[in-house]
A and B are shown apart, each in its own frame.
Chain A
Amino acid sequence: MMLHKIAAAFATLLLISGAASAQGAKPNDAQIAHIAYTAGLADIANAKLALRKSKNKDVRAFAHDMERDHKAVNDKALALVKKLKVTPQDNPTSKAIAKGQADERAKLSKLKGKAFDKAYIDNEVAYHKTVDNALQSTLIPSANNDELKSLLETGLKIFQGHLEHAEHVAAEFK
Protein backbone atom coordinates (compact mmCIF):
# COMPACT_ATOMS: atom_id res chain seq x y z
CA MET A 1 0.00 0.00 0.00
CA MET A 2 2.76 2.42 1.07
CA LEU A 3 5.02 1.38 -1.84
CA HIS A 4 2.12 1.82 -4.19
CA LYS A 5 1.56 5.37 -2.86
CA ILE A 6 5.23 6.28 -3.25
CA ALA A 7 5.27 4.84 -6.77
CA ALA A 8 2.18 6.85 -7.68
CA ALA A 9 3.74 10.04 -6.29
CA PHE A 10 6.91 9.47 -8.28
CA ALA A 11 4.98 8.69 -11.45
CA THR A 12 3.22 12.04 -11.10
CA LEU A 13 6.51 13.82 -10.43
CA LEU A 14 8.12 12.18 -13.47
CA LEU A 15 5.14 13.20 -15.54
CA ILE A 16 5.42 16.80 -14.38
CA SER A 17 9.16 17.11 -15.02
CA GLY A 18 8.96 14.77 -18.01
CA ALA A 19 6.38 16.90 -19.80
CA ALA A 20 8.95 19.64 -20.11
CA SER A 21 11.74 17.49 -21.52
CA ALA A 22 9.42 15.49 -23.79
CA GLN A 23 8.58 18.67 -25.63
CA GLY A 24 12.28 19.40 -25.86
CA ALA A 25 11.67 22.73 -24.16
CA LYS A 26 10.58 24.19 -20.86
CA PRO A 27 6.83 24.61 -20.33
CA ASN A 28 5.74 28.08 -21.39
CA ASP A 29 3.96 30.54 -19.09
CA ALA A 30 0.51 29.63 -20.47
CA GLN A 31 1.18 25.95 -19.68
CA ILE A 32 2.71 26.71 -16.27
CA ALA A 33 -0.34 28.80 -15.33
CA HIS A 34 -2.62 25.93 -16.37
CA ILE A 35 -0.60 23.35 -14.38
CA ALA A 36 -0.59 25.50 -11.22
CA TYR A 37 -4.30 26.32 -11.52
CA THR A 38 -5.24 22.67 -12.16
CA ALA A 39 -3.16 21.52 -9.17
CA GLY A 40 -5.06 24.02 -6.99
CA LEU A 41 -8.47 22.94 -8.32
CA ALA A 42 -7.65 19.28 -7.60
CA ASP A 43 -6.79 20.08 -3.99
CA ILE A 44 -10.00 22.09 -3.58
CA ALA A 45 -11.96 19.05 -4.84
CA ASN A 46 -10.05 16.82 -2.37
CA ALA A 47 -10.93 19.26 0.45
CA LYS A 48 -14.62 19.33 -0.48
CA LEU A 49 -14.71 15.52 -0.37
CA ALA A 50 -13.09 15.57 3.09
CA LEU A 51 -15.60 18.16 4.33
CA ARG A 52 -18.45 15.92 3.15
CA LYS A 53 -17.02 12.75 4.70
CA SER A 54 -14.86 13.51 7.73
CA LYS A 55 -15.94 14.18 11.29
CA ASN A 56 -12.40 14.59 12.61
CA LYS A 57 -11.84 18.16 13.88
CA ASP A 58 -8.21 18.46 12.69
CA VAL A 59 -8.90 16.88 9.30
CA ARG A 60 -11.85 19.25 8.76
CA ALA A 61 -9.80 22.30 9.83
CA PHE A 62 -7.05 21.27 7.40
CA ALA A 63 -9.57 20.76 4.58
CA HIS A 64 -11.10 24.21 5.26
CA ASP A 65 -7.61 25.76 5.07
CA MET A 66 -6.90 23.98 1.76
CA GLU A 67 -10.17 25.14 0.25
CA ARG A 68 -9.62 28.77 1.34
CA ASP A 69 -5.89 29.03 0.46
CA HIS A 70 -6.01 27.28 -2.92
CA LYS A 71 -9.00 29.39 -3.93
CA ALA A 72 -7.14 32.57 -2.91
CA VAL A 73 -4.02 31.57 -4.89
CA ASN A 74 -6.08 30.49 -7.93
CA ASP A 75 -8.01 33.79 -7.84
CA LYS A 76 -4.67 35.66 -7.96
CA ALA A 77 -3.48 33.41 -10.81
CA LEU A 78 -6.68 34.10 -12.79
CA ALA A 79 -6.35 37.86 -12.23
CA LEU A 80 -2.71 37.70 -13.34
CA VAL A 81 -3.29 35.73 -16.58
CA LYS A 82 -6.09 38.17 -17.40
CA LYS A 83 -3.79 41.14 -16.82
CA LEU A 84 -1.01 39.53 -18.88
CA LYS A 85 -3.54 38.54 -21.57
CA VAL A 86 -2.33 34.94 -21.36
CA THR A 87 -4.78 32.10 -22.05
CA PRO A 88 -3.90 29.11 -19.84
CA GLN A 89 -3.01 26.17 -22.08
CA ASP A 90 -4.13 22.62 -21.38
CA ASN A 91 -1.20 20.18 -21.51
CA PRO A 92 -0.26 16.56 -20.63
CA THR A 93 1.00 17.54 -17.17
CA SER A 94 -2.19 19.30 -16.08
CA LYS A 95 -4.21 16.38 -17.51
CA ALA A 96 -2.07 13.91 -15.50
CA ILE A 97 -2.58 15.92 -12.29
CA ALA A 98 -6.36 16.20 -12.76
CA LYS A 99 -6.67 12.46 -13.55
CA GLY A 100 -4.29 11.38 -10.77
CA GLN A 101 -6.24 13.27 -8.09
CA ALA A 102 -9.65 12.25 -9.54
CA ASP A 103 -8.50 8.61 -9.24
CA GLU A 104 -7.41 9.26 -5.64
CA ARG A 105 -10.84 10.74 -4.84
CA ALA A 106 -12.57 7.70 -6.36
CA LYS A 107 -10.55 5.49 -3.99
CA LEU A 108 -11.12 7.81 -1.02
CA SER A 109 -14.87 8.00 -1.53
CA LYS A 110 -15.13 4.25 -0.84
CA LEU A 111 -13.56 4.68 2.61
CA LYS A 112 -15.20 5.71 5.88
CA GLY A 113 -14.33 7.11 9.30
CA LYS A 114 -10.72 6.86 10.44
CA ALA A 115 -9.69 4.91 7.31
CA PHE A 116 -10.90 7.83 5.18
CA ASP A 117 -9.21 10.44 7.40
CA LYS A 118 -5.86 8.63 7.27
CA ALA A 119 -6.00 8.02 3.51
CA TYR A 120 -7.07 11.63 2.79
CA ILE A 121 -4.29 13.17 4.87
CA ASP A 122 -1.66 10.71 3.53
CA ASN A 123 -2.64 11.69 -0.01
CA GLU A 124 -2.40 15.39 0.96
CA VAL A 125 1.15 14.83 2.26
CA ALA A 126 2.19 12.95 -0.91
CA TYR A 127 0.42 15.36 -3.27
CA HIS A 128 1.89 18.51 -1.66
CA LYS A 129 5.36 16.92 -1.79
CA THR A 130 4.93 16.22 -5.50
CA VAL A 131 3.58 19.68 -6.34
CA ASP A 132 6.22 21.47 -4.21
CA ASN A 133 8.95 19.46 -5.99
CA ALA A 134 7.52 20.28 -9.40
CA LEU A 135 7.30 24.00 -8.52
CA GLN A 136 10.88 24.05 -7.27
CA SER A 137 12.54 21.95 -9.97
CA THR A 138 10.53 22.82 -13.09
CA LEU A 139 7.74 25.38 -12.90
CA ILE A 140 9.47 28.27 -11.09
CA PRO A 141 12.78 27.99 -13.04
CA SER A 142 10.83 27.81 -16.33
CA ALA A 143 8.53 30.79 -15.68
CA ASN A 144 9.35 33.69 -17.95
CA ASN A 145 7.17 36.48 -16.58
CA ASP A 146 8.42 38.00 -13.30
CA GLU A 147 4.94 38.40 -11.78
CA LEU A 148 4.08 34.77 -12.58
CA LYS A 149 7.41 33.62 -11.10
CA SER A 150 6.78 35.68 -7.95
CA LEU A 151 3.25 34.27 -7.53
CA LEU A 152 4.60 30.72 -7.95
CA GLU A 153 7.32 31.44 -5.37
CA THR A 154 4.76 32.72 -2.84
CA GLY A 155 2.58 29.71 -3.75
CA LEU A 156 5.49 27.35 -3.03
CA LYS A 157 5.94 28.84 0.48
CA ILE A 158 2.20 28.55 1.15
CA PHE A 159 2.16 24.92 -0.06
CA GLN A 160 5.29 24.07 1.96
CA GLY A 161 3.28 25.32 4.95
CA HIS A 162 0.40 23.03 3.91
CA LEU A 163 2.82 20.08 3.73
CA GLU A 164 4.05 20.75 7.27
CA HIS A 165 0.46 21.18 8.50
CA ALA A 166 -0.59 17.92 6.75
CA GLU A 167 2.35 16.06 8.32
CA HIS A 168 1.26 17.25 11.79
CA VAL A 169 -2.29 15.99 11.19
CA ALA A 170 -0.99 12.70 9.67
CA ALA A 171 1.05 12.08 12.84
CA GLU A 172 -2.28 11.64 14.71
CA PHE A 173 -3.05 8.55 12.64
CA LYS A 174 0.31 6.84 13.03
Chain B
Amino acid sequence: MRAGFVVTAAVAALSIWGSTLARAATIQVTIDKVAYNPVNISARVGDTIVWSNKDIVAHTATNRDKSWDFTIFPNKTAKVTLKKAGEIDYYCKFHPNMKGHISVKP
Protein backbone atom coordinates (compact mmCIF):
# COMPACT_ATOMS: atom_id res chain seq x y z
CA MET B 1 0.00 0.00 0.00
CA ARG B 2 2.69 2.41 1.10
CA ALA B 3 4.97 1.35 -1.79
CA GLY B 4 2.07 2.02 -4.18
CA PHE B 5 1.72 5.58 -2.86
CA VAL B 6 5.44 6.26 -3.34
CA VAL B 7 5.28 5.01 -6.92
CA THR B 8 2.19 7.11 -7.65
CA ALA B 9 3.83 10.20 -6.16
CA ALA B 10 7.01 9.57 -8.14
CA VAL B 11 5.03 9.16 -11.37
CA ALA B 12 3.11 12.36 -10.61
CA ALA B 13 6.35 14.24 -9.90
CA LEU B 14 7.92 12.91 -13.08
CA SER B 15 4.93 13.89 -15.17
CA ILE B 16 4.99 17.46 -13.76
CA TRP B 17 8.72 17.65 -14.45
CA GLY B 18 8.13 16.21 -17.93
CA SER B 19 5.39 18.66 -18.83
CA THR B 20 7.52 21.60 -17.64
CA LEU B 21 10.35 20.40 -19.87
CA ALA B 22 7.98 20.04 -22.80
CA ARG B 23 6.69 23.56 -22.30
CA ALA B 24 10.05 25.34 -21.94
CA ALA B 25 11.50 24.75 -25.38
CA THR B 26 14.85 25.78 -26.79
CA ILE B 27 14.48 27.32 -30.23
CA GLN B 28 17.55 27.37 -32.47
CA VAL B 29 18.15 30.23 -34.90
CA THR B 30 21.03 29.90 -37.34
CA ILE B 31 22.69 33.03 -38.67
CA ASP B 32 24.15 32.52 -42.13
CA LYS B 33 24.61 34.61 -45.27
CA VAL B 34 23.44 37.75 -43.45
CA ALA B 35 20.06 36.29 -42.41
CA TYR B 36 18.34 34.81 -39.35
CA ASN B 37 16.92 31.38 -40.09
CA PRO B 38 14.06 30.99 -39.34
CA VAL B 39 13.18 34.66 -39.67
CA ASN B 40 9.82 34.32 -37.86
CA ILE B 41 9.47 32.37 -34.63
CA SER B 42 6.45 31.41 -32.53
CA ALA B 43 7.41 30.85 -28.91
CA ARG B 44 5.98 30.73 -25.39
CA VAL B 45 6.99 32.55 -22.22
CA GLY B 46 9.85 30.55 -20.66
CA ASP B 47 11.25 29.37 -24.01
CA THR B 48 14.88 30.07 -24.79
CA ILE B 49 16.11 31.36 -28.15
CA VAL B 50 19.66 30.34 -29.10
CA TRP B 51 21.36 32.10 -32.01
CA SER B 52 24.33 30.33 -33.66
CA ASN B 53 26.46 32.47 -35.95
CA LYS B 54 27.67 30.33 -38.88
CA ASP B 55 28.45 33.40 -41.00
CA ILE B 56 31.87 34.86 -41.89
CA VAL B 57 31.30 38.13 -39.98
CA ALA B 58 30.03 39.16 -36.53
CA HIS B 59 26.36 40.00 -36.16
CA THR B 60 24.08 41.24 -33.39
CA ALA B 61 20.63 40.24 -32.20
CA THR B 62 19.28 43.58 -30.97
CA ASN B 63 15.76 43.97 -29.61
CA ARG B 64 14.11 47.16 -30.97
CA ASP B 65 12.83 47.88 -27.44
CA LYS B 66 16.51 47.79 -26.30
CA SER B 67 15.83 45.16 -23.58
CA TRP B 68 18.59 42.94 -25.03
CA ASP B 69 21.48 43.41 -27.44
CA PHE B 70 23.90 40.54 -28.16
CA THR B 71 27.03 40.71 -30.30
CA ILE B 72 27.63 37.24 -31.76
CA PHE B 73 31.01 36.54 -33.36
CA PRO B 74 31.47 33.81 -36.01
CA ASN B 75 31.10 30.30 -34.54
CA LYS B 76 29.68 31.70 -31.28
CA THR B 77 26.21 31.58 -29.78
CA ALA B 78 24.00 33.85 -27.69
CA LYS B 79 20.75 33.08 -25.88
CA VAL B 80 17.81 34.76 -24.23
CA THR B 81 14.92 33.34 -22.19
CA LEU B 82 11.62 34.98 -23.06
CA LYS B 83 10.09 36.53 -19.94
CA LYS B 84 6.84 38.06 -21.18
CA ALA B 85 4.27 37.65 -23.93
CA GLY B 86 4.24 40.00 -26.90
CA GLU B 87 5.69 40.72 -30.33
CA ILE B 88 9.45 41.19 -30.58
CA ASP B 89 11.16 42.82 -33.55
CA TYR B 90 14.91 42.45 -33.54
CA TYR B 91 17.70 43.25 -36.01
CA CYS B 92 21.46 43.33 -36.55
CA LYS B 93 23.03 46.69 -35.62
CA PHE B 94 25.97 46.03 -37.97
CA HIS B 95 23.74 45.06 -40.92
CA PRO B 96 20.29 46.63 -40.40
CA ASN B 97 19.04 44.76 -43.50
CA MET B 98 18.94 41.66 -41.20
CA LYS B 99 15.62 41.48 -39.37
CA GLY B 100 13.86 38.86 -37.23
CA HIS B 101 10.54 38.51 -35.43
CA ILE B 102 9.47 36.51 -32.36
CA SER B 103 5.82 36.09 -31.44
CA VAL B 104 5.70 35.20 -27.71
CA LYS B 105 2.49 33.63 -26.40
CA PRO B 106 1.69 33.35 -22.65
Contacts and interface: CB of A to CB of B under 8 A. Distances in A.
Contacts of A72: 56-58, 74
A64 to B, nearest CB: 10
Interface in B70-87: 74
A102 interface: no
A157 B57 contact: no
Decide if the interface of chain A is mainly helix, strand, loop or mixed: helix
Contacts of B94: 65, 69, 161, 165
Contacts of A157: 33-35, 95, 97
A165 B59 CA distance: 13
Contacts of B57: 68-69, 72-73, 158
A160 B35 CA distance: 12
B100 to A, nearest CB: 14
Given A161-B96, A161-B98, A164-B96, 4 more contacts: A68-B57, A72-B74, A158-B57, A164-B97
Interface of B: 33-35, 55-58, 74, 92-98
25 contacts: A68-B57, A68-B58, A69-B94, A72-B56, A72-B57, A72-B58, A73-B56, A154-B33, A154-B34, A154-B56, A157-B33, A157-B34, A157-B35, A157-B97, A158-B34, A158-B95, A160-B34, A160-B97, A161-B34, A161-B92, A161-B94, A161-B96, A162-B95, A164-B95, A165-B94
